[in-house]
Structure 1
Amino acid sequence: MDHLLELDGLSVSYRTADGPLPAVRGVDLVVDAGEVVGIAGESGCGKSTLASTVLRLQPKDAVVEGEVLVAGRDVLTMGWGDLRALRWAEASIVFQGALHSLNPVRRIETQIAEPIQLHEPGLSTAEVTARVGELLEQVGIPAARSRVYPHQLSGGQRQRVMIAMALACRPQLIVADEPTTALDVMVQAQILDLISGLVKDLGVGMLIISHDLSVLSDVCDRVAVMYAGRVVECGSAEQVFRAPAHPYAKALAQAFPRVGDPAARYAPAGLAGDPPDPHAPPPGCTFEPRCTLAVDACREAEPPLLDIGGRQSACIRVGAA
């Protein structure tokens, strides 16, 4: 049986005046029905590029290699007609920043109805209106508020509208790119509960992108940690957050503040330095310049992503263990 989403050797680079700029490098990943898979990492590690490539939304200056299979079909090679049919109906995306994604001069009912009318032209106006109301109720917004404009909703409500739009045509795969960005912690918790409930109740698969580890730890079954465009660790959420194997994954976990822990309060952990310049990556392991455990061998070759005890990690120390 096909995975809902399968990335096989996915690489994405951008054409620039200084030459190709690699953003995603050789990523392999799968998402199955009823599963939430998270992508973690610092800004610039390739998370959003990966998310946009799933539905072939990358800009024209992007060069893509590898395969992106949605329900067994390669998104990168299918014709525009098939791609248009796949978007919304089989796979949809929740963009970060709902205020910038929603049309400010159109009522939310019109915006949610648009993909339904496009993919199910046989429905009557009354049936579409009823579907919009059901979707809003499903995400916790009264159907009576369907005629308001985006600016008349709070940040959390606008994000709920974005999720309702993503569910409009009953897709099996949802890509959520930073779905709780700029939301306060209380609203963030509500959105995460909503996402978890929808995945469980509807049996859909979700790929969720975030730099916030607390978001991923709350909702994900598995997590892939990206650094400099490639996955350096992948495993269950509990493995990655409680016992990370890769030094970068460990640094991310330690940087997450722990409420009520005096040690974390008075000696906050962090990670010195910055991610490498994609135009001039360091030799060997790209994390070596920032790694406190680095040895000379780390500069010789980039470690492969190896299977270790039910997870994967790309570190010379892990491979030698």
Structure 2
Amino acid sequence: MTLLDVRNLTVTYPGDVAAVRGVDLKLAAGQKLGVAGESGCGKSTLALALLRLLPPGTKVGGQILLDGEDVLTMRWGRVRAVRWAGASIVFQGAMHSLNPVHRVGDQIAEPVLLHGDATPTAARRRAAELLEQVGLSASRAAAYPHELSGGQRQRVMIAMALACEPQLVIADEPTTALDVMIQAQILRLIEQLVAEQGVSLLMISHDLAVLAETCDRLAVMYAGRVIEQGPARTVYENAAHPYGRALSEAFPRIGAPASRFAPRGLPGDPPDPAALPPGCAFQPRCPVALAECETEDQELREVGEAREAACVHVGAPGSGPAAPLVPGGGS
């Protein structure tokens, strides 16, 4: 059953800044979907749009169907009910998301009180249970955010996201500010809790390796569009779009000396969403761009089973990439 169905989503900020341009995504109940891309590609804007958390003046089009209901046409009372209980979000940078003058236990208990029929005592008990679920002592409920480490604060954010037993958890770069050891612990925790509670997960990251380990499917965004999507491990190991491949090769891989000593990466930056180039937005940085890429944008097309990529080098359905995606590389 499809839990989240995003159809032709567009988000334009004041000043005609097209941050998201016609995104289509589907997430089944209990599934884990990763969204990857560099900073400025529209990932966080997509996450905020899903729960109508964008700033005033932002124009949003398309549909966001959550369990069959369009979030964009809901009355505000219904949106408030959906947040936390239907879908919740874990923001990057927990120190900026937690209230510094309230104890963390009270902050976890707050959505339980607002969205359920729990008494204050029951809400505090639920907060203690959630802290223990995320690997913290219940006694930490009395702590203020500044008294916790970065990893502990992120665990508190995860506890808050799970407080009302939502169907969907959106994790926006949940490990960005953490060291690699704590990052691994948080990722394992998220994966474990999602599996145990049957929650769907939409995880946003710039790190394809993290998403390939954590998620079932992977969507790669560039300049506000999804330019490739498919099984997470397949997209990570053999991306069909040159941007997806460059993003994957920017990270060294265990057991691959060539990638460890000379990760390729990609020069330049994503385009300004207020001044997108004509044709394919990626062509100014693309190592295999053709003349037609300068004038014609590319739509997603099939490339193997349950896989799509928006690239001129992707041939007929099922044929795979029609040309090497990186000079000297294989297809």
Measured against the shorter chain, the TM-score band is: over 0.9
Q: Provide the residue aligned with 1:142 in structure 2.
A: 137
- The 1-side partners of 2:294 and 2:315 are apart by 15
User: Structure 2: 5+ residue runs without aligned partners?
Assistant: 317-321, 323-331
Letter in 2 for 1:178: E
The superposition leaves residues 273-303 of structure 1 with CA deviations (integer Å, 9 ceiling, x where unpaired) of 2212222222211111111111112123111
SS of 2:49's equivalent in the other structure is helix
1:147 CA displacement: 0.7
Q: Percent identity among equivalent residues?
A: 61
Moved more, 257-266 or 137-146: 257-266
Partner of 1:85: 81
> Across the two proteins, how many residue pairs are aligned to each other?
316
Gap change, CA 1:227 and 1:118, over 3 Å in 2: same
Correspondences of 1:100-179 after superposition (within 5 Å) = 100-120=96-116, 122-179=117-174
Q: Aligned partners of 1:204 and 1:259: how far apart in 2?
A: 31
What SS does the aligned partner of 2:72 have?
Answer: coil
User: What one-letter code is carried by the residue in structure 1 that aligns with 2:52?
Assistant: R
Could you tell me how far apart the structure 2 residues matched to 1:80 and 1:318 are? Answer: 43
Query: Aligned pair in 2 of structure 1 residues 301, 119: CA closer, same or farther (>3 Å)?
Result: same
Does the alignment pair 1:34 with 2:26?
no
Moved over 6 A (4+): none
Residue 226 of structure 1 aligns to a residue whose secondary structure is strand
Alpha-carbon distance in structure 2 between the residues aligned to 1:124 and 1:281: 52
Aligned to 2:329: none
Match of 2:244 among 238, 249, 271: 249
State the distance in 2 between where 1:153 and 1:227 align: 36
- Match of 2:17, as an amino acid? L
Q: TM-score, normalised by structure 2?
A: 0.93
Greater RCO between the two (CA within 8 Å, min separation 6)? 1
**Cα-Cα RMSD:** 1.2
The answer as to 2:289 corresponding to 1:290 is no
Q: What is the DSSP-based 3-state SS (H/G/I as helix, E as strand, rest coil) of the residue aligned with 2:314?
A: helix
Gaps of 5+ in 1: none
Q: Which residue of 1 aligns with 2:8?
A: 9
The answer on 1:211 being equivalent to 2:206 is yes
SS of residue in 2 equivalent to 1:88? helix
> In structure 2, the residue corresponding to 1:31 is in which secondary structure?
strand
CA distance in 1, matches of 2:152, 2:286: 41
Q: Secondary structure at the match of 2:313?
A: helix
Matched residue SS, 2:84: coil
Structure 2 match to 1:314: 310
